[in-house]
């Protein structure tokens, strides 16, 4: 982590400009913005997500790291994509577990984005340069349905629909224990942990986050849930389920070291997407069965 202290002559600069001008590795303003958006920049020990705020004399700016991926170097690769819907404006992918959505630390050429720009080369100019076409994401070890924009018009509208909660996203999850309430809402703000920068946590000054859950059925000491996202924060379902005492089984980050035999990842699958087509208005409803590894986990319980 690098610490910078704002001088009198630097006071009043935008945060992204200040970082770009003072980071000793000569990072660009665009890279500074991505670091801020990712929650990797603290001002006086508080995470700040707005690149446009003005810095003041004496403030301490901590930078955990800066994104190392150069958008211009993202290469097309033959990454298998299970495309379940496609037209000229958008595609819906049934993402397999174990694949990261976009390039980042440890994953530069083996991501869904690398496969997407191989199949649809023109999307390199759609959306954010380091994650072209991506309007929402799934964790590396979460499988299931996600949308990719194939036109700028669709990207802009889909991004707006995500913000306005116009896309219905349903997940299937298996959790430890049986919730006392068969149906409920977890309403708790989420932000990046100040103690572990790789984790999200519930915090009073975090971003508003709401998760709806329904107990579909019980299997011994476990519950199979249908979960609906009202917001889409990083790791939201996993953080919220842990917070109510029912972590997702197989979750190595938020599962409190609770292990599940022969399951290499969290039992979380994006099983349904419902939305109106961003251009035509047509109703789209797509479902995905849980993959083989999760089916096998259920069989072992039964």
Active-site residue, 139 included: yes
Residue 277 covered by a domain: no
Domain carrying residue 47: 2-63
pTM listed for this prediction: 0.77
- Side-chain-facing half-sphere of 239: CA atoms under 13 Å: 26
Residue 84 covered by a domain: yes
pLDDT of residue 261: 67
Query: What total number of domains does the chain contain?
Result: 3
Task: For residues 80 and 160, state if they share a domain.
Answer: yes
Residue 243 covered by a domain: yes
pLDDT of residue 33: 82
Residue 274 covered by a domain: no
| Given the residues 139, 187, 205, 221, the one annotated as active site | 139
Task: For residues 179 and 194, state if they share a domain.
Answer: yes
Task: For residues 10 and 47, state if they share a domain.
Answer: yes
Environment class of residue 290 by beta-carbon count within 10 Å: exposed (0-12), middle (13-18) or buried (19+)?
A: buried
Task: For residues 131 and 183, state if they share a domain.
Answer: no
Q: What is the CATH number of the domain that holds 261?
A: 3.30.2350.10
Residue 68 covered by a domain: no
- What are the pLDDT tens digits along the chain (302 aa)? 678 899 888 899 999 888 888 875 555 677 788 788 777 888 998 888 888 899 999 999 988 765 555 555 688 898 989 999 999 999 999 999 999 887 765 556 789 999 999 999 999 989 888 889 999 989 999 999 999 999 999 999 999 999 899 999 999 999 999 999 999 999 999 987 877 767 889 988 888 999 999 999 999 999 999 999 999 888 999 999 999 999 999 998 897 666 676 788 999 999 999 999 999 999 999 999 999 999 999 988 87
Residue 285 covered by a domain: no
């Amino acid at each position: 982590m690098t610490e910078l202290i704002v001088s009198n002559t630097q006071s009043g600069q935008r945060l992204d400009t200040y970082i770009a001008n003072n980071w000793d590795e000569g990072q660009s303003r665009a890279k500074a913005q991505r670091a801020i958006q990712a929650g990797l920049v603290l001002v006086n020990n508080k995470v700040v997500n707005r690149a446009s705020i003005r810095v003041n004399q004496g403030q301490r700016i901590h930078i955990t790291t800066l994104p190392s991926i150069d958008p211009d170097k993202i290469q097309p690769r033959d990454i298998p994509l299970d495309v379940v819907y496609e037209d000229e404006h958008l595609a819906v992918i049934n993402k397999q577990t174990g694949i990261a959505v976009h390039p980042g630390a440890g994953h530069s050429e083996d991501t869904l984005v690398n496969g997407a720009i191989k199949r649809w080369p023109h999307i390199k100019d759609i959306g954010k340069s380091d994650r072209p076409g991506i309007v929402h994401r799934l964790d590396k070890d979460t499988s299931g349905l996600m949308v990719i924009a194939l036109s700028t018009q669709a990207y802009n509208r889909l991004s707006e629909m995500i913000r306005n909660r116009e896309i219905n996203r349903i997940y299937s999850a298996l959790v430890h224990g049986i919730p006392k309430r068969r149906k409920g809402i977890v309403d708790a703000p989420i932000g990046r942990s100040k103690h572990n920068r790789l984790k999200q946590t519930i915090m009073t000054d975090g971003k508003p986050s709401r998760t709806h859950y329904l107990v579909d059925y019980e299997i011994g000491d476990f519950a199979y849930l249908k979960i609906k996202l009202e917001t889409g924060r990083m790791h939201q379902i996993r953080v919220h389920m842990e917070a109510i005492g029912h972590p997702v089984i197989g979750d190595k980050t938020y599962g409190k070291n609770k292990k599940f035999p022969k399951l290499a990842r969290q039992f979380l699958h994006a099983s349904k997407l419902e939305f109106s087509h961003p251009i035509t208005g047509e109703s789209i409803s797509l479902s995905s069965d849980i993959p083989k590894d999760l089916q096998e986990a259920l069989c072992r319980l039964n």
